[in-house]
């Protein structure tokens, strides 16, 4: 895993190659400043976060500045990952937003009840997907003040 300490980065937990490629393509303007680290499933994501617990020094860690989480993952799904993130005192500081194809009100309520900061339904239309990813990137990396590491 690459060492991105001291630099803001996004952790994208996404199993779909197509969705990952689209996210990268439409986030291109933000990737210079905020690289994306991808985990393809829940097990990989939890392992990444455990390894990120190792601090570089007393002021810096390898934690992502933002987690973008798909719900429908193989193995440990996004719902379980969200629960585990919120149970960990270090991880729960990381803003986690859900980016899922599910529009089910039960999923949406579950995620907000378990600490998600946003819930975004993945648009099917490619133009709307591009617009959504651009707004997401602009908001989270140019407007919001993220917690310090």
Q: Are 100 and 77 a contacting pair, CB within 8 Å?
A: no
- The domain tally of the chain equals 1
- Write the CATH number for 127: 3.40.50.2300
pLDDT at 30: 76
Domain range enclosing 16: 10-143
Confidence bin at 141 (pLDDT 50/70/90): confident
> Is 32 inside a domain boundary?
yes
pLDDT at 1: 36
Q: Are 36 and 10 a contacting pair, CB within 8 Å?
A: yes
> Is 138 inside a domain boundary?
yes
Summarised one tens digit per residue, pLDDT across range 70-107 is: 999 999 999 999 999 999 998 999 999 999 999 999 99
> Is 132 inside a domain boundary?
yes
> Is 3 inside a domain boundary?
no
> Is 54 inside a domain boundary?
yes
> Is 2 inside a domain boundary?
no
Q: Are 51 and 61 a contacting pair, CB within 8 Å?
A: no
């Amino acid at each position: 895993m690459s060492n991105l300490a001291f630099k803001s980065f996004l952790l994208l937990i996404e199993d779909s190659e197509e969705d990952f490629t689209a996210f990268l393509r439409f986030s291109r303007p933000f990737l210079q400043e905020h690289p994306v680290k991808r985990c393809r499933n829940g097990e990989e994501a939890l392992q990444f976060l455990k390894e990120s617990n190792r601090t570089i020094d007393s002021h810096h860690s390898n934690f992502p500045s933002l987690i973008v989480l798909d719900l429908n993952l193989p193995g440990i799904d996004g719902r379980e990952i969200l629960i585990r993130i919120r149970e960990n005192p270090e991880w729960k500081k990381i803003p986690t937003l859900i980016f899922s194809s599910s529009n089910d009100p039960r999923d949406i309520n579950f995620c907000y009840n378990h600490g998600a900061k946003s819930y975004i339904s993945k648009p099917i239309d490619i133009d709307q997907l591009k617009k959504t990813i651009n707004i997401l990137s602009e908001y989270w990396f140019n407007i919001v003040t993220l917690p310090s590491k």
